[in-house]
Amino acid sequence: MQNYKITLLKGDGIGPEIVDQAVKVLDRAADKFGFTVTYDEALLGGCAIDATGVPLPDETVAKCKASDSVILGAVGGPKWDNQPGNNRPEAGLLGIRGALGLFANLRPSVIFGPLKSASPIKDDIIGDNMDIMIVRELTGGIYFGERGRGDDCAWDTEKYSVAEVERIARVAFDLAMKRNKKLTSVDKANVLESSRLWRETVIRLSAEYPEVELNHMYVDNCAMQLVRNPKQFDVIVTSNIFGDILSDEASMIAGSIGMLASASLSGGKLGLYEPIHGSAPDIAGLGIANPLATILSVAMMLRYSLAQPEAAQAIEDAVSEVLKTNRTPDIYEEGMNKVSCEQMGDLVCQML
């Protein structure tokens, strides 16, 4: 029987609550589909600062590298706002991505049928089954470039190498081949030199994928088109900062940021899986957090890192079925059963 070793980074705020529910669902899926999971916990973010003085202890990096995959809850909160920039909880998140070589961030924006009414976009615009995959470069660009501050100015540098663009573009092309063979590369090539390099590299690589329809779009136009006509997109590939912004926009088109999962992948099988929402410290401990984005992140882990696609699909189907009659407070609608974080985890397990 296949056994997988998973490191849990529960983090801050609602992180421990939502990860506990995701683990419960993963254990149920393991029992149903004939594999086993063993867990190890490590510190990341504000909880790590409290315990060790730094947001990313060396022990955490070592544990993650020794595992088959990593599940992350969320990091950060007002408690640590007085920390210097290089020692904030978010610095731990950037650090673990770099330490594990997690250069590709996959953020699906999917409309679940029962939640279609939660989207702020009209039905005739989003259609019946909006399914966009945003592929965000995660370890380069302005978040990792040279930065500094003078007496009356500050700067951050956007920088990409050909190799960095090639590897993220290849991930996007490969995903497009498995989906609808359509890829949109988003840049700002009319203004930025780094974007011109990005576009040239993507065009050159496209020769290896003649079946994929490639088009290019400036980021400002893409932001408009996501609202105007999201159905035109299948796979979007873009830089770190553009992907950060566009994926949050796409999440709200889908109706709730509390529903959306993400995968951060390296060149091998190791990945880090997390919801795209924050730590929500204002509701931590109240039992009302929505665990579904974390549960759906587990489904992504089963698909992309653990080679268990049937288990992944079963979790996604179970979530869709449970949503027909049950909601956590953030996605509640009149006539539905309002359930707690723990109850939602139990319901998904029962549906499995």
pLDDT in tens, 61-90: 999 999 999 999 999 999 999 988 789 999
Where among 253, 279, 295 does a domain terminate?
Answer: 253
**Are residues 333 and 285 located together in one domain of the fold?**
yes
Q: Is residue 191 domain-shared with residue 67, that is, in the same domain?
A: no
Rounded CA-CA distance 340/115 in Å is 18
Q: What is the dihedral of CA 336, 340, 341, 344, to 10 degrees?
A: -50
Q: 240 and 297 share a domain?
A: no
Q: Where a domain ends, among 228, 253, 278?
A: 253
| 207, part of any domain | yes
Selection from 219, 96, 240, 222 nearest residue 165 by Cα: 240
- Residue 245 burial (CB < 10 Å; 0-12/13-18/19+)? middle
How many structural domains is the chain composed of? 2
Residue 114 belongs to a domain: no
DSSP category for residue 210: T
Q: What is the pLDDT of residues 162-206, one digit of tens each?
A: 999 999 999 999 999 999 999 999 999 999 999 999 999 999 999
191 and 93 in a common domain: no
Q: Which two tokens stand for residue 127?
A: 């259609």
Please report, for the domain that includes residue 203, its CATH number. Answer: 3.40.718.10
Give me the residue label for tokens 């088009």: 215
Same domain, 133 and 238: yes
Q: Which amino acid is at 279?
A: S
221 and 324 together in one domain: no
Report yes or no: 166 and 205 within 8 Å, Cβ to Cβ.
Answer: yes
Which tokens sit at 116?
A: 């279609």
**Cα 21 from Cα 10, distance rounded (Å):** 11
Residue at 113 is within a domain: no
> Which pTM value belongs to this model?
0.88
Tell whether 272 and 220 lie within a shared domain: no
Q: Name the amino acid, one letter, at 66.
A: A
Considering the domain architecture, whether residues 272 and 242 belong to the same structural domain is answered as no
Task: Place 319 in a pLDDT band, splitting at 50, 70 and 90.
Answer: very high
DSSP for 214-240?
EEEEEHHHHHHHHHH-GGG-SEEEE-H
Which two three-digit tokens encode residue 123?
Answer: 């039905």
Q: Is residue 280 part of a domain?
A: yes
Establish if 50 belongs to a structural domain.
yes
- Residue 282 has a pLDDT of 94
| Percentage of the residues of the chain whose pLDDT score is greater than 90 | 82
Q: Does residue 26 surpass a pLDDT of 90?
A: yes
Residues serving a catalytic function are 143, 188, 220, 244, 248
Q: With contact defined as beta carbons under 8 Å apart, do 51 and 41 qualify?
A: no
Q: Strands of 159-310 (E only): list them.
A: 182-187, 213-218, 235-238, 261-265, 271-275
- Among residues 303, 291, 233, 235, the alpha carbon closest in space to that of 263 is found at 303
pLDDT number for residue 269: 85
- Over residues 238-252, the pLDDT tens digits come to 999 999 999 888 887
Instruction: Give the residue-averaged pLDDT of 252-278.
Output: 86
Tell me, yes or no, whether 125 and 230 share the same domain. Answer: yes
pLDDT digits (tens, 9 = 90+) for 111-153: 877 777 777 778 777 776 778 999 999 989 999 899 999 999 9
Q: What is the greatest pairwise CA distance in the chain?
A: 62
State the first-to-last Cα distance of the chain, in angstroms, to the nearest integer: 20
Q: Please give the average per-residue pLDDT across 210-238, as a whole number.
A: 96
Helices 15-33, 309-322: crossing angle, 10 deg rounding: 120
Residue 19 has pLDDT above 90, yes or no: yes
Tokens of 202: 């993507």
Both 246 and 298 in one domain: the answer is no
97 occurs within a structural domain: yes
More confident residue, 97 or 23: 23
Specify the amino acid at residue 216.
Answer: H
Residues 6+ apart with CB under 8 A from 202: 165, 169, 185, 214, 216, 237
What CA–CA distances, in Å, run from 328 to 114, 197, 258, 286?
13, 45, 10, 12
Residue after which a domain boundary falls, among 253, 287, 302: 253
List the single range of 222-226, 279-283, 328-332 with lowest mean pLDDT: 328-332
pLDDT band at 253 (very low <50, low <70, confident <90, very high): confident
How does the average pLDDT of the chain come out, rounded? Answer: 93
> Domain range for residue 73?
1-106+261-352
Per-residue model confidence as pLDDT tens digits over 271-313: 999 998 889 999 999 999 999 999 999 999 999 999 999 999 9
> What per-residue confidence (pLDDT) applies to 121?
78
Q: Is residue 291 part of a domain?
A: yes
- Contact predicate 184/132, CB 8 Å: no
